[in-house]
A = this chain, B = another copy of it.
Amino acid sequence: MTRIQFDEMKATIKQAFLNAGMPEDKAEVCARIHTESSRDGVYSHGLNRVERFVEYIGKGWVDVNAVPTLEINLGAMEVYNGNLGPGITNAIFAMNRATEIAAQNGLGLVSLNNTTHWMRGGTYGWQAAEKGFIGICWTNTESCMPAWGAKSCGIGNNPFIMAVPREEGHIVLDMAMSQYSYGKLQVTRLRNEKLPFDGGFDQDGNLTDEPGIIEETRRILPMGYWKGSGFAILLDIISALLSGGLTTAGIDNSGKGSCGSCCQVFIAVNPLKINTQEFIDQALSETIEQLKSSVPAKENGEIFYPGEQSLKTRHQNMELGIPVDDGIWAIVKELARLKH
């Protein structure tokens, strides 16, 4: 396995984005975020997603020059049009704005309509936490999962993120509504392995742990069966109604690729408007301690808090370099070489 240092990967991705026509400031930010996603182990939305993002720019599905414009200001809540700008810079703007509002009022909510794929949703949870804010955010997507009881795709796999700042390591939940991502199915199939648990349905409608079969039927399983299905539906509708933008059904008709013209919600809370730092530290440490002192299910097993393993992967990849698929790395280097 080849490992690439953070700075080299970031510089290469940045050049690829510059070549695709992105302004320097946006290329810098987007390259950093893609590299950070790979650094944290979310390869599918890091380096591995660069080629597709460049394609989207080429097709005009992402406007590299666009920035969010304010549509509605309600004080603690602001609604922006993402103007089909890069999903990453739009989302960073929105979460940052939510924290600015929260810094003043305790609570801030910023919604985006007409934005594009934000890549790794966890990015914006870590962003809020890094600034000392509790962050909650989600996006809607095009239809890519069957609702519970259906076999055709009718709902989005809308990720939901919650983050709490903590000095020893932020507590960050970043979960899609499917039990497994297509990336996980692919990786597992290529290793000739089965999924740890059933992850979708076969042709006959039976649950299966065979990743290849699920890739064929496209019937991925919502997490918790009917629960993830219902959660996806509510996240979709609420993101659309909080931003005045497109629902999943609307995105399906937008013809602008995955998450083209999607909606996102960013909520930030300043915990220091409510608690002392001492109280916060105590609440976090007693919670982590209770988790860690649970009796492990397996002998010598360890119980992790959400975000803990991302942080471990981050430290490892910063030390050893970020692992890359050689074919994908060659493609991105080619995109960085080409002059348009």
Contact = CB atoms under 8 A, between A and B. Distances in A.
A11 interface: no
Contacts of A284: 237
B77 A231 contact: no
A149 interface: yes
Interface string A257-301: 000000000000101011100011001101101110111111001
20 contacts: A75-B105, A75-B106, A76-B107, A134-B238, A147-B294, A149-B301, A149-B303, A155-B290, A163-B234, A164-B241, A173-B234, A201-B297, A205-B297, A224-B224, A233-B291, A234-B306, A236-B287, A247-B283, A249-B287, A250-B286
A228 B237 CA distance: 21
Given A111-B274, A247-B286, 8 more contacts: A76-B76, A107-B109, A147-B291, A147-B303, A154-B291, A154-B294, A173-B231, A241-B275
A238 B164 contact: yes
Interface residues of A, number: 83
Nearest to A240: B283
Q: Most B CB atoms within 10 A — which of A234, A252, A296, A303?
A: A234
A148 interface: yes
A219 to B, nearest CB: 8
A11 to B, nearest CB: 34
A233 B175 CA distance: 13
Contacts of A74: 105-107, 273
A291 B234 CA distance: 12
A143 interface: yes
A150 B243 contact: no
A173 B233 contact: yes
Contacts of A171: 233-234, 237
Given A146-B294, A241-B283, A283-B247, A224 B306 contact: no
Interface in A110-155: 111, 134, 136, 143, 146-155
Contacts of A152: 294-295
A242 interface: yes
Given A76-B75, A224-B224, A306-B234, A241 B274 contact: yes
Contacts of A162: 231, 234-235, 238
A224 B109 contact: no
A93 interface: no
Nearest to A111: B274
A182 to B, nearest CB: 17
Interface string A172-203: 01010001000000000000000001000100
